[in-house]
Amino acid sequence: MAEQPGTLLYYLKRSTEFLEKKEIPNPRVDAEWILSDLLNLPRIKLYSQFEMPLGQKEIDTYRERIVERSKRKPVAYITGKKGFHKFEYLVTENVLIPRPETEELVDYLWKRKEELSFTEPSPLQIWDLCSGSGCIGLSLTQLLPTSVVTLSDLSEKAIDVSRRNAEKYNLTDKTSFYVSDLDLALPDGLEFDLVVSNPPYIPESEKPEIMPDVLDYEPHLALFVSDFKEFHKRLLDAISKRLKPGGKLMLETHPLYSKDLEEMAKTMGFVDTKIVLDSSKKERFLFAKKL
Protein backbone atom coordinates (compact mmCIF):
# COMPACT_ATOMS: atom_id res chain seq x y z
CA MET A 1 0.00 0.00 0.00
CA ALA A 2 1.32 3.42 -0.95
CA GLU A 3 1.69 5.56 2.13
CA GLN A 4 0.51 9.13 2.08
CA PRO A 5 2.15 11.75 4.34
CA GLY A 6 -0.09 12.63 7.27
CA THR A 7 -1.82 9.25 7.41
CA LEU A 8 -1.88 6.68 10.16
CA LEU A 9 0.40 4.37 8.16
CA TYR A 10 2.90 7.17 7.52
CA TYR A 11 3.37 7.94 11.22
CA LEU A 12 3.32 4.28 12.18
CA LYS A 13 6.19 3.56 9.78
CA ARG A 14 8.19 6.63 10.86
CA SER A 15 7.74 5.69 14.51
CA THR A 16 8.77 2.09 13.89
CA GLU A 17 11.94 3.23 12.11
CA PHE A 18 12.75 5.64 14.94
CA LEU A 19 12.36 2.96 17.62
CA GLU A 20 14.39 0.54 15.50
CA LYS A 21 17.29 3.02 15.39
CA LYS A 22 17.07 3.30 19.18
CA GLU A 23 17.39 -0.52 19.36
CA ILE A 24 14.00 -1.01 20.99
CA PRO A 25 12.92 -4.67 20.80
CA ASN A 26 9.72 -5.24 18.75
CA PRO A 27 9.55 -1.63 17.50
CA ARG A 28 6.55 -2.16 15.20
CA VAL A 29 4.50 -3.87 17.91
CA ASP A 30 5.24 -1.10 20.42
CA ALA A 31 4.44 1.62 17.87
CA GLU A 32 1.12 -0.09 17.14
CA TRP A 33 0.16 -0.50 20.81
CA ILE A 34 0.90 3.16 21.56
CA LEU A 35 -1.07 4.32 18.52
CA SER A 36 -4.05 2.04 19.17
CA ASP A 37 -4.26 3.36 22.72
CA LEU A 38 -3.99 6.97 21.55
CA LEU A 39 -6.77 6.51 18.97
CA ASN A 40 -8.84 4.24 21.25
CA LEU A 41 -8.89 1.61 18.52
CA PRO A 42 -8.22 -2.13 18.94
CA ARG A 43 -4.72 -2.78 17.58
CA ILE A 44 -6.05 -5.09 14.86
CA LYS A 45 -8.32 -2.27 13.60
CA LEU A 46 -5.30 -0.13 12.75
CA TYR A 47 -4.82 -2.27 9.66
CA SER A 48 -8.15 -1.17 8.20
CA GLN A 49 -7.45 2.49 8.98
CA PHE A 50 -4.03 2.97 7.35
CA GLU A 51 -5.22 5.83 5.13
CA MET A 52 -6.89 7.73 7.97
CA PRO A 53 -5.38 11.21 8.44
CA LEU A 54 -4.15 12.08 11.93
CA GLY A 55 -4.90 15.46 13.49
CA GLN A 56 -2.07 17.68 14.69
CA LYS A 57 -2.84 17.01 18.35
CA GLU A 58 -2.76 13.24 17.72
CA ILE A 59 0.53 13.57 15.83
CA ASP A 60 2.14 15.62 18.61
CA THR A 61 0.97 13.26 21.36
CA TYR A 62 2.05 10.21 19.37
CA ARG A 63 5.54 11.69 18.87
CA GLU A 64 5.85 12.44 22.59
CA ARG A 65 4.91 8.89 23.51
CA ILE A 66 7.22 7.34 20.93
CA VAL A 67 10.10 9.44 22.33
CA GLU A 68 9.21 8.13 25.82
CA ARG A 69 9.39 4.57 24.51
CA SER A 70 12.73 5.32 22.82
CA LYS A 71 14.04 6.10 26.32
CA ARG A 72 13.01 2.59 27.36
CA LYS A 73 9.90 3.60 29.27
CA PRO A 74 7.65 0.51 29.15
CA VAL A 75 4.58 0.72 26.91
CA ALA A 76 2.28 -0.12 29.84
CA TYR A 77 3.47 2.95 31.73
CA ILE A 78 2.98 5.11 28.64
CA THR A 79 -0.60 3.88 28.09
CA GLY A 80 -1.36 3.47 31.80
CA LYS A 81 -2.80 -0.01 31.44
CA LYS A 82 -1.92 -3.64 30.82
CA GLY A 83 -3.94 -6.66 29.71
CA PHE A 84 -3.83 -9.54 32.19
CA HIS A 85 -5.62 -12.87 31.79
CA LYS A 86 -9.21 -11.94 30.77
CA PHE A 87 -8.95 -8.41 32.14
CA GLU A 88 -7.14 -5.10 31.78
CA TYR A 89 -5.67 -3.27 34.76
CA LEU A 90 -4.55 0.29 35.36
CA VAL A 91 -0.82 0.56 36.06
CA THR A 92 1.49 3.36 37.13
CA GLU A 93 5.20 3.42 37.92
CA ASN A 94 4.23 2.63 41.53
CA VAL A 95 3.36 -0.98 40.63
CA LEU A 96 4.99 -3.78 38.67
CA ILE A 97 3.67 -4.31 35.17
CA PRO A 98 1.68 -7.58 35.23
CA ARG A 99 3.63 -10.36 33.55
CA PRO A 100 2.50 -13.29 31.38
CA GLU A 101 4.09 -15.67 33.91
CA THR A 102 1.86 -14.29 36.63
CA GLU A 103 -1.18 -14.92 34.42
CA GLU A 104 -0.15 -18.57 34.55
CA LEU A 105 -0.42 -18.54 38.36
CA VAL A 106 -4.02 -17.33 38.06
CA ASP A 107 -4.76 -19.82 35.30
CA TYR A 108 -3.33 -22.76 37.28
CA LEU A 109 -5.62 -22.09 40.23
CA TRP A 110 -8.69 -21.24 38.16
CA LYS A 111 -8.48 -24.39 36.01
CA ARG A 112 -8.23 -26.54 39.17
CA LYS A 113 -10.98 -24.76 41.10
CA GLU A 114 -13.11 -27.89 41.67
CA GLU A 115 -10.13 -30.06 42.55
CA LEU A 116 -8.91 -27.43 45.05
CA SER A 117 -12.41 -26.87 46.52
CA PHE A 118 -12.58 -23.25 45.40
CA THR A 119 -16.21 -23.58 44.30
CA GLU A 120 -17.78 -24.12 47.72
CA PRO A 121 -20.79 -21.86 48.34
CA SER A 122 -19.37 -20.16 51.45
CA PRO A 123 -17.14 -17.14 50.71
CA LEU A 124 -13.65 -18.22 49.65
CA GLN A 125 -11.25 -15.93 51.52
CA ILE A 126 -8.27 -14.97 49.31
CA TRP A 127 -5.23 -12.95 50.35
CA ASP A 128 -3.12 -11.36 47.60
CA LEU A 129 0.09 -10.57 49.48
CA CYS A 130 2.45 -7.97 47.94
CA SER A 131 -0.50 -7.21 45.69
CA GLY A 132 0.80 -4.30 43.57
CA SER A 133 -1.86 -3.48 40.97
CA GLY A 134 -4.09 -6.18 42.46
CA CYS A 135 -4.07 -8.13 39.21
CA ILE A 136 -3.77 -11.59 40.84
CA GLY A 137 -6.36 -11.17 43.57
CA LEU A 138 -8.85 -9.16 41.54
CA SER A 139 -8.65 -11.63 38.64
CA LEU A 140 -9.26 -14.61 40.92
CA THR A 141 -12.16 -12.83 42.60
CA GLN A 142 -13.83 -12.38 39.22
CA LEU A 143 -13.05 -15.93 38.09
CA LEU A 144 -14.20 -17.48 41.40
CA PRO A 145 -17.54 -15.75 42.05
CA THR A 146 -17.93 -17.03 45.64
CA SER A 147 -14.67 -15.39 46.70
CA VAL A 148 -13.71 -12.23 48.55
CA VAL A 149 -10.19 -10.83 48.50
CA THR A 150 -7.78 -8.98 50.76
CA LEU A 151 -5.06 -6.97 48.99
CA SER A 152 -2.01 -5.93 50.99
CA ASP A 153 1.17 -4.16 49.96
CA LEU A 154 3.94 -2.27 51.71
CA SER A 155 3.42 0.63 49.28
CA GLU A 156 0.51 2.98 49.91
CA LYS A 157 0.73 4.17 46.29
CA ALA A 158 0.39 0.58 45.07
CA ILE A 159 -2.73 0.12 47.20
CA ASP A 160 -4.14 3.30 45.65
CA VAL A 161 -3.69 1.74 42.19
CA SER A 162 -5.31 -1.55 43.27
CA ARG A 163 -8.24 0.38 44.75
CA ARG A 164 -8.80 2.06 41.37
CA ASN A 165 -8.69 -1.35 39.67
CA ALA A 166 -11.25 -2.75 42.12
CA GLU A 167 -13.50 0.25 41.41
CA LYS A 168 -13.11 -0.30 37.66
CA TYR A 169 -14.55 -3.81 37.97
CA ASN A 170 -17.10 -2.96 40.72
CA LEU A 171 -15.27 -5.18 43.21
CA THR A 172 -14.93 -2.78 46.16
CA ASP A 173 -17.65 -4.62 48.12
CA LYS A 174 -15.65 -7.85 47.81
CA THR A 175 -12.21 -6.33 48.44
CA SER A 176 -10.32 -5.19 51.55
CA PHE A 177 -7.15 -3.09 51.28
CA TYR A 178 -4.24 -2.85 53.71
CA VAL A 179 -0.96 -0.97 53.57
CA SER A 180 1.05 -3.56 55.44
CA ASP A 181 4.46 -5.11 55.95
CA LEU A 182 3.37 -8.70 55.28
CA ASP A 183 0.47 -9.36 57.71
CA LEU A 184 1.36 -6.83 60.43
CA ALA A 185 -1.51 -4.42 59.66
CA LEU A 186 -4.13 -7.11 59.08
CA PRO A 187 -6.81 -7.53 61.78
CA ASP A 188 -6.23 -10.18 64.43
CA GLY A 189 -7.99 -13.41 63.59
CA LEU A 190 -8.30 -12.73 59.85
CA GLU A 191 -7.60 -16.05 58.11
CA PHE A 192 -7.66 -17.25 54.53
CA ASP A 193 -8.48 -20.27 52.39
CA LEU A 194 -6.00 -19.25 49.69
CA VAL A 195 -2.90 -17.03 49.74
CA VAL A 196 -1.40 -15.91 46.43
CA SER A 197 1.68 -13.76 46.02
CA ASN A 198 4.16 -12.43 43.51
CA PRO A 199 6.57 -11.00 46.08
CA PRO A 200 9.96 -9.38 45.43
CA TYR A 201 12.34 -12.27 44.76
CA ILE A 202 15.26 -11.05 42.62
CA PRO A 203 18.50 -10.86 44.63
CA GLU A 204 20.01 -7.37 44.51
CA SER A 205 23.20 -8.96 43.17
CA GLU A 206 21.33 -9.57 39.87
CA LYS A 207 20.57 -5.89 39.24
CA PRO A 208 23.33 -5.56 36.58
CA GLU A 209 21.61 -8.29 34.53
CA ILE A 210 18.21 -6.59 34.50
CA MET A 211 17.14 -4.82 31.29
CA PRO A 212 16.88 -1.02 31.55
CA ASP A 213 13.12 -1.01 30.79
CA VAL A 214 12.66 -2.75 34.15
CA LEU A 215 15.57 -1.37 36.17
CA ASP A 216 15.00 2.29 35.33
CA TYR A 217 11.22 2.38 35.63
CA GLU A 218 9.66 -0.41 37.71
CA PRO A 219 9.56 -0.13 41.52
CA HIS A 220 12.61 -1.78 43.08
CA LEU A 221 10.65 -2.42 46.28
CA ALA A 222 8.50 -4.89 44.32
CA LEU A 223 11.41 -6.52 42.49
CA PHE A 224 14.48 -6.95 44.67
CA VAL A 225 15.39 -8.57 48.01
CA SER A 226 18.68 -8.13 49.84
CA ASP A 227 18.39 -11.60 51.44
CA PHE A 228 16.14 -14.09 49.62
CA LYS A 229 16.12 -16.65 52.44
CA GLU A 230 15.46 -14.22 55.28
CA PHE A 231 12.65 -12.41 53.46
CA HIS A 232 10.92 -15.60 52.32
CA LYS A 233 11.12 -17.08 55.81
CA ARG A 234 9.22 -14.03 57.08
CA LEU A 235 6.81 -14.33 54.14
CA LEU A 236 6.05 -18.01 54.76
CA ASP A 237 5.73 -17.40 58.49
CA ALA A 238 3.12 -14.68 57.88
CA ILE A 239 1.25 -16.95 55.47
CA SER A 240 1.35 -19.89 57.89
CA LYS A 241 -0.18 -17.75 60.64
CA ARG A 242 -3.00 -16.59 58.37
CA LEU A 243 -3.92 -19.76 56.47
CA LYS A 244 -6.84 -21.83 57.72
CA PRO A 245 -6.19 -25.55 58.23
CA GLY A 246 -6.26 -27.09 54.77
CA GLY A 247 -5.65 -23.70 53.18
CA LYS A 248 -3.53 -23.40 50.03
CA LEU A 249 -0.80 -21.06 48.92
CA MET A 250 0.76 -20.35 45.55
CA LEU A 251 3.82 -18.14 45.18
CA GLU A 252 5.65 -16.90 42.15
CA THR A 253 9.40 -17.12 42.72
CA HIS A 254 12.89 -17.12 41.24
CA PRO A 255 13.41 -20.32 39.22
CA LEU A 256 16.93 -20.74 40.65
CA TYR A 257 15.62 -20.68 44.23
CA SER A 258 12.35 -22.58 43.91
CA LYS A 259 13.75 -25.80 45.41
CA ASP A 260 15.20 -23.86 48.35
CA LEU A 261 11.80 -22.25 48.87
CA GLU A 262 10.08 -25.63 48.74
CA GLU A 263 12.44 -27.05 51.37
CA MET A 264 11.85 -24.00 53.55
CA ALA A 265 8.09 -24.48 53.26
CA LYS A 266 8.39 -28.16 54.23
CA THR A 267 10.46 -27.37 57.33
CA MET A 268 7.79 -24.84 58.34
CA GLY A 269 5.09 -27.50 58.23
CA PHE A 270 3.55 -27.01 54.80
CA VAL A 271 2.49 -30.21 53.02
CA ASP A 272 1.68 -31.40 49.49
CA THR A 273 4.31 -29.01 48.16
CA LYS A 274 4.73 -28.86 44.42
CA ILE A 275 6.97 -26.84 42.12
CA VAL A 276 4.94 -25.76 39.10
CA LEU A 277 6.67 -24.96 35.79
CA ASP A 278 5.79 -21.94 33.70
CA SER A 279 5.26 -22.16 29.93
CA SER A 280 9.02 -21.74 29.42
CA LYS A 281 9.60 -24.85 31.59
CA LYS A 282 11.14 -22.76 34.37
CA GLU A 283 10.46 -23.64 38.01
CA ARG A 284 8.44 -20.47 38.56
CA PHE A 285 5.80 -21.31 41.20
CA LEU A 286 5.46 -23.05 44.54
CA PHE A 287 2.13 -24.59 45.51
CA ALA A 288 1.60 -25.91 49.05
CA LYS A 289 -1.04 -26.59 51.68
CA LYS A 290 -1.31 -26.06 55.41
CA LEU A 291 -2.15 -29.09 57.52
Instruction: Please state the residue numbers annotated as binding site for S-adenosyl-L-methionine.
Output: 153, 198
Q: What is the pLDDT of residue 2?
A: 54
Structure confidence by residue, pLDDT tens digits, 237-264? 999 999 999 999 999 999 999 999 999 9
Instruction: Please state the residue numbers annotated as binding site.
Output: 153, 198-201
Q: What is the pLDDT of residue 122?
A: 84
Instruction: Please state the residue numbers annotated as binding site for substrate.
Output: 198-201
Q: Report the alpha-carbon distance of residue 88 to residue 139 in Å, rounded.
A: 10
Domain boundaries defined on the chain? 8-71, 93-290
For the domain spanning 93-290, the CATH number is 3.40.50.150
Structure confidence by residue, pLDDT tens digits, 1-50? 556 889 999 999 999 999 999 999 999 999 999 999 999 999 999 999 99
Q: What is the pLDDT of residue 4?
A: 80
Query: By three-state DSSP, how is residue 147 classified?
Result: strand
Task: Give yes or no for residue 168 having a pLDDT over 90.
Answer: yes
Q: Which residues contact 206 (CB under 8 A, 6 or more apart)?
A: none
pLDDT band at 121 (very low <50, low <70, confident <90, very high): confident
- Please state at what angle helix 27-39 crosses helix 56-70, rounded to 10 degrees: 140
